[in-house]
Amino acid sequence: MNESPNRNHSRRALYYYIAAILIILVINTIITPMFFKPRVQEVTYTNFLKMVDEGKATKVEINQNRIALLCNKDGKDQIYVTGRVDDPELVNRLVKANVEFSQVVPREESPISKFFNNWILPFLIFMVIGQLIMRFLGPKMGGGNMMSFGKSNAKVYIEAQTGKTFKDVAGQDEAKEALQEIVSFLHDPSRYNAIGATMPKGVLLVGPPGTGKTLLAKAVAGEAKVPFFSISGSEFIEMFVGMGAARVRDLFKQAQEKAPCIVFIDEIDAIGKKRDNGSFGSNDEREQTLNQLLSEMDGFDGSKGVIILAATNRPEVLDKALLRPGRFDRRVPVELPDLQGREAILKVHSHDVRISPDVDYHAIALATSGASGAELANIVNEAALRAVRMGRQIVIQEDLEESVEVVIAGAQRKGAVISQDEKKIIAYHEIGHALVAASQTASAPVHKITIIPRTSGALGYTMQVDTEEKVLMTKEELFNKIVTLTGGRSAEEIVFNKVTSGASNDIEQATKLARAMITRFGMTEEFDMVALETVSNAYLGGDASLRCAPETSARIDEAVFETVKKAHAKARDILNGHREKLDELAAYLLKKETITGDEFMAILKGQNPDDPEPAASDAMQKANPDAVQPA
């Protein structure tokens, strides 16, 4: 049976008080008598007279009951007190000894004041110090005062104060549909209770970073108009063992008191990782917190309307006990938005931005394949910042297109000093990519070519786009993409008969793509449909690892070599067949530094690129950041 948080708080406070009393006891009984001698000492009248006669007294003070003698001993003032005795010769002896005397006697400290100063006052000081320590360390230690160990740090939004509804969430129609049922239950739980249905106790939002998992959770609370508790998984973990478990108990206690409500735990993988076998070095605090979370999810009554929402981008590391039915019953994918979703997200983030009415959101959505909602919001903001820099009060299409390039490849480095010879090599390199891409049937059209360096390190890039959103890629399309990647190096070899380091990124991408075709996509006859590679952390970049024998790994390497070599040879053949156009396009790019897809296609078709109406397809107006080829 779990102890209540109040009992734990009282026990910790009791331990603190006992420790304070023991410290004060040691100070008063051992340290003070050993190192601090009393300033006032009692002596007999005979010794008092002896000290006066010996000249030790510096001052004497007399009243009706007592006599005090002040002397300097070892450089410190010391007071000796004796009882009053009727001695008519006392005054003469004091005058003879040249001792100053008066009728006021310093009073010795009373027993009550001694008790207060030695016991009560130090205890009060300990209490004040404890309060100050808890207040300053409150955010780290779980509260703002001495009783707040184990208090939850969850932010509480009452009613619809999250300020978000489903109207603020775009590009996640499937996720909103899955969560709409929860909103309906929180509005009218009797409909579900009448038929005997219960809502899932927990809903796990899974997806890449920036796709709007936290925003969805706030929108659910805003739609349902119920209290919303928000806390990060890392806030449960503390240096003190048992603190995380206490915070879980406190969080669920608050949620039960405010039911119906929503509890949102962001980055739940911080506490929900798979438990080990208890070997040395295990994180006891994290495991205790996880065990307490599992226990609380089993213990609370879901019919009261307490819904647990959690978000993670590492679902594969979560403990199986956390994902079983009865805990996180429902798993809602929050994936990267598709073409329509990206267009809707751009419009949502443009609501508060002054944008020209003729802006083509569809073109920008095509240009941002694979972008998350957060990245799209950043693109809109970058476009607004660019408009301000250019002295405009409204965002135009050019600003959005440039902001896409800034997010992908970085800002332009107009001040970079590059020699004319190197510029020529870069120009041929980029034209090599573009010419190879335009010469293949299953390849995305060219949108833009530039040799202006970027802050990301790219000396230039070629931008391509598909005419429509693609979900699947054929073997031919993947191979043509590898051919395009080798086009830059091929152009250098043909024109200059030498190679440079500018193709490093192309080589990396081509090798990675060729290996994926063999190990993951099953696009070879030799290995057929055998999975030779596994991908972990799919939402965080996808770390791949081979799962095969060393002999098989060597054969995979040979197949990768053969695929890239074949693509490289095809690229050289294409460029050799269009050598004149290669020189003409490179000279034009070297002159203008940046050319559009229209200009590129006009030269390729033998037309004047400066014609106001160059012959080019509408697809040339689109851009695909996934196809950017850095020099």
**Which band of pLDDT confidence, cut at 50, 70 and 90, is reported for residue 8?**
low
Do residues 430 and 462 make contact, with C-beta atoms less than 8 angstroms apart? yes
> Domain spanning 339-409 has what CATH number?
1.10.8.60
- Burial class of residue 503, CB neighbours in 10 A (0-12, 13-18, 19+): buried
Q: How far is CA 390 from its chain centroid?
A: 33
Whole-model pTM: value is: 0.69
Whether the pLDDT of residue 483 is over 90: the answer is yes
| Residue 606: other Cβ atoms inside 10 A | 8
- Neighbouring residues of 604: CB distance < 8 A, sequence distance ≥ 6: 435, 438, 581, 585
Integer Cα distance of 489 and 492 in angstroms: 5
Q: Across residues 333-354, what is the average pLDDT?
A: 90
Indicate if the pLDDT at residue 479 is higher than 90.
yes
**Residue 194 burial by Cβ neighbours in a 10 Å radius (0-12, 13-18, 19+):** exposed
pLDDT digits (tens, 9 = 90+) for 573-609: 999 999 999 999 999 999 888 888 888 999 888 887 7
Q: Which of 95-104, 119-128, 207-216 has the lowest mean pLDDT?
A: 95-104
Q: Is 485 exposed, middle or buried (0-12, 13-18, 19+ CB in 10 A)?
A: buried
Give me the pLDDT at residue 481, please.
93
Supply the pLDDT for residue 572: 95
What CATH number matches the domain at 420-627, 3.40.50.10130, 1.20.58.760, 1.20.1260.10, 1.10.357.10? 1.20.58.760
Confidence of residue 11 (pLDDT cuts 50, 70, 90): low
Sequence ranges of the domains in the chain: 5-36+112-141, 40-108, 155-333, 339-409, 420-627
pLDDT band for 428, please (50, 70, 90 cuts).
very high
pLDDT at position 108: 54
Rounded-to-10 torsion of CA 517, 518, 524, 525: -160
pLDDT, mean over the chain: 79
Percent of the chain with pLDDT over 90: 22
Whether the bond into 315 is cis, omega within 30 of 0: no
pLDDT at 460: 85
Distance (Å, whole) CA 437 – CA 480: 8
Q: Higher model confidence: residue 602 or residue 456?
A: 602
Residue 240 tokens read as 């003190």
Both tokens of 466, joined, read: 């598909």
CA angle 600, 602, 606 (to 5 degrees): 120
Residue 217 tokens, joined = 């959770």
The pLDDT value given to residue 367:
85
Residue of higher predicted confidence among 406 and 303? 406
The domain 40-108 is placed in CATH, from the list 3.90.420.10, 3.30.530.50, 3.30.720.210, 3.40.50.2000, at 3.30.720.210
Domain 155-333, CATH: 3.40.50.300
Copy the structure tokens of residue 371.
Answer: 């972008």
pLDDT band at 616, cuts 50/70/90?
very low
Report helix, strand or coil for 597. helix
Question: How far is the C-alpha of 310 from the C-alpha of 619, rounded, in Å?
Answer: 41
- Are 423 and 586 spatial neighbours (Cβ–Cβ below 8 Å)? no
Q: What pLDDT sits at residue 149?
A: 44
**Residue that is written with structure tokens 């944008």 in the block:** 355
For 300, the token pair is 């609370």
Lowest mean pLDDT among 345-354, 375-384, 531-540, 594-603: 531-540
State the catalytic residues. Answer: 430
Helix (H) and strand (E) counts in the chain: 24, 16
Identify which of 184, 287, 203, 195 has the alpha carbon closest to the alpha carbon of residue 245: 287
* Average confidence (pLDDT) over 408-434: 86
Half-sphere exposure of 314 (CA within 13 A, CB side): 18
